[in-house]
Chain A
């Protein structure tokens, strides 16, 4: 099976930097995704890591260490609109089929003025 852990809640200040961690245990690892989800809305794709290292996309960066089963999402220059849940999702090979995503419980980020 798969186990994905991320903090339940975090609070940060507008303009600051925040790092949201995710640890996972899985066999057949085939990529880690970060999604943003505002309340009552669909998950929106943010970033994807399949190899170790840092992927940067504007204000958002994501890091992966496969040997440690660890990823983080870094959000810079926080804005009020960044208040949302951030979902870590792992993809694993299952009989080479499907490429389903297994999601963590999400980290609810509150950005304060």
Chain B
């Protein structure tokens, strides 16, 4: 069964550094998403992406964040200058247009020191 994959599984970085989180959505899906979950809190929407552009973003997704689909398979989230409060689990998801269901990747745990 096709799955969303994410790398790395765990990223440790220093405050102020740039990080790129990578995702490979399910191959025939067209809509992609990033969510984050701070430890012990709810899953929060960051951004949705369709047809090579952002279709919606939340208040969390400020100028420090960007997304890109650099080739036909990868979907990346970049945080330009990380803050302590960016420490969280970041989930990528892709949506099956037929069933309208979002499938989540295993997540990247980002730790900012």
Binding site for B on A (CB under 8 A): 31, 33, 35, 41-45, 48, 50, 87, 89, 94-95, 97-106
Contacts and interface: CB of A to CB of B under 8 A. Distances in A.
Nearest to A91: B100
Interface residues of B, number: 24
Contacts of B102: 33, 45, 101
B75 interface: no
A104 B37 CA distance: 12
Nearest to B43: A103
Contacts of B44: 103
B42 A105 contact: yes
Contact of A41 (B35, B55, B106): B106
A98 B101 contact: no
B48 A100 contact: yes
Contacts of B35: 101
B105 interface: yes
Nearest to A48: B101
